[in-house]
Structure 1
């Protein structure tokens, strides 16, 4: 590992992004944390610097601001060496499409799709100059089937899967290795945790902690693996669901989401 290089992590202040930041620092990597303003990122950065004796840089801004995003990334490339990009930032939601505002729909598309592609395309020439570099992208098990009452979110994660697996093939033979991780359910906040608990055993199948998911994703991405599905039950679920016609998968998964909404 190049001790002068940095790992850039989007959505780095909470949930899976926070755990990526901690584990990368514990592996001796210098870290660039990108998060929304007011995310308490500087406090985590100070903790990582003190505990792991690595350099941590913090940049707080909204990734959906394309002009600011490109300007900031260009400044970073001019001043730092980056050899690992972790595209983690993303948002979702469970709501009927008729009850969802255009602003919330647009936010998912702007962050999950446009922002992620823009970060990658802007940094790619820099990553290609490195002796060896990696791009790790957070998709979701939701990418494998359409889901009613979520609609935009799984579509955005399917985009992440398709885009980056295509990019992986495009970059074969270069210095850049591209990986996609597909987490199952994660207890990232109190709202998500409550919904998982309400679903009982069915909701908890495939459930892993952010620590477990980040550890698996980092190890396999650094080893050059393209498709990463953390957890035995998630891999079994993916294989079984892949045998079903789309209409049946859609009905099964969407039915579970509809019941979840009725409980709330």
Structure 2
């Protein structure tokens, strides 16, 4: 792997993925851009190559399709130039949980959770053998907030956070850096694709501001980066409260509150 590794970015045709492509290209990294819209990636790749001189490969893949995921897995396993994976591709759907179609629910799971797991796993084996590499997983604050009412999407993002934290524990000592990025509402195409009512959308962070903040966290080697959270001590307190419970999980008798009164 080069000292300036190639970066593979999923969902690279627009939004967060396209901005990541721009920022890494301007840092001098060659790219592998992965998404469904090859035409948009071709246009962005031509622009970035012209402006930065980096080499860019475009891979058309639909990460809801297992065969396409397999092709990207193979690229991650076999291409020793790739040293950074950005799992950004994601989908959502509007509507209450009981009213969403089973097809939409499955697609959200396949793209947001299963593909992230498979691609992370494909990259991790080689990164561990090489003793270096980085995996960036784009989650969401929704994964911490069931109150937001995006049950399936939020559940997949909670999975991404746990997966990232678990990989960090296991792979960090092997030289692999893992970052979970948790944006809040960000001005991307995902809202239109999900069929959201524009009049009901919340205020949003600009995509460039979100990615630039995430890259500050990347450079600092943060495990979890939450660009919209101004009081970082709140996350520290959340983590401390969670970790304080760990000894209690080892108890072998039920808590008194769960025992019938005598």
Instruction: Establish whether TM, by shorter chain, passes 0.5.
Output: yes
Deviations 1:121-173 (A, max 9, x none): 11111222345311111111101121464210001101101111011011131
RMSD: 2.8
Task: Return the offset for 1:31.
Answer: 0.8
CA distance change for structure 1 residues 234 and 102 in 2, over 3 Å: closer, same or farther? Answer: farther
Q: Contact (CA 8 Å) 1:10, 1:86: kept in 2 or not?
A: yes
Give the direction of change, closer, same or farther, for the CA distance of 1:75–1:135 in structure 2 (3 Å limit): closer
Question: Structure 2 CA distance, aligned partners of 1:234 and 1:13?
Answer: 32
1:82·1:127 contact (CA, 8 Å) conserved in 2?
no
Residue 49 of structure 1 deviates from its aligned partner by 0.6
Secondary structure in structure 2 of the residue aligned to 1:172: helix
The match for 1:91 is 91
Superposed displacement of residue 213, structure 1 = 1.1
Contact 2:128 2:171 in 1 (8 A): no
Task: Structure 1: give runs of 5+ residues left out of the alignment.
Answer: 243-264
Query: For the residues of structure 1 that align with 2:43 and 2:23, how far apart are their CA atoms?
Result: 16
Q: Distance in 2 between matches of 1:25 and 1:225?
A: 22
Which of residues 220, 223, 247 in structure 2 aligns to 1:226? Answer: 223
Matched, 1:136 2:133: no
- 1:163–1:226 distance in 2 versus 1, CA, 3 Å: same
- Report the Cα distance in structure 1 between the residues aligned to 2:3 and 2:124, rounded to whole angstroms: 20
Please say if residues 9 and 85 of structure 1, whose CA atoms lie closer than 8 Å, have aligned partners that are also in contact. Answer: yes
SS at match of 2:97: coil
Segment of structure 1 superposing worse, 100-109 or 67-76:
67-76
TM-score, structure 2 length as denominator? 0.80
Q: Please list every run of at least 4 consecutive aligned residues from structure 1 whose deviation after the TM superposition is greater than 6 angstroms.
A: 236-242
Query: Tell me, what secondary structure is at the counterpart of 1:123?
Result: helix
For residues 221-250 of structure 1, give each alpha carbon's deviation from its aligned partner in whole angstroms, at most 9, with x where no partner exists: 2331101011354758868999xxxxxxxx
**Contact 1:171/1:177, CA 8 A, preserved across alignment:** yes
Q: Which moved more, 1:109-118 or 1:39-48?
A: 39-48
- Aligned runs of 1:239-258 on 2, under 5 Å? none
Residue aligning to 1:262? none
Change (3 A) 1:178 1:58: same
2: CA distance, partners of 1:216 / 1:187: 15
- With over 3 angstroms needed to count, the CA separation of the structure-2 counterparts of 1:234 and 1:138, relative to structure 1, is farther
State how far apart, in whole Å, the 2-side matches of 1:87 and 1:61 are.
13
**1:104 to 1:125, Cα distance in 2 relative to 1, 3 A:** same
Deviates more, 1:1-10 or 1:79-88: 1-10
Distance 1:238 1:95, change over 3 A: farther
TM-score (norm 1): 0.80
Give, in whole Å, the separation in 2 of the partners of 1:156 and 1:38.
26
Task: Tell me the distance in 2 between the aligned counterparts of 1:139 and 1:214.
Answer: 13
Q: Answer whether contact 1:134 1:222 (CA < 8 A) is retained.
A: no
Give the count of matched residue pairs: 237
Larger Rg: 2
Tell whether the 8 Å contact from 1:3 to 1:29 is kept in structure 2 after alignment.
no
Residue number in structure 1 paired with 2:251: none
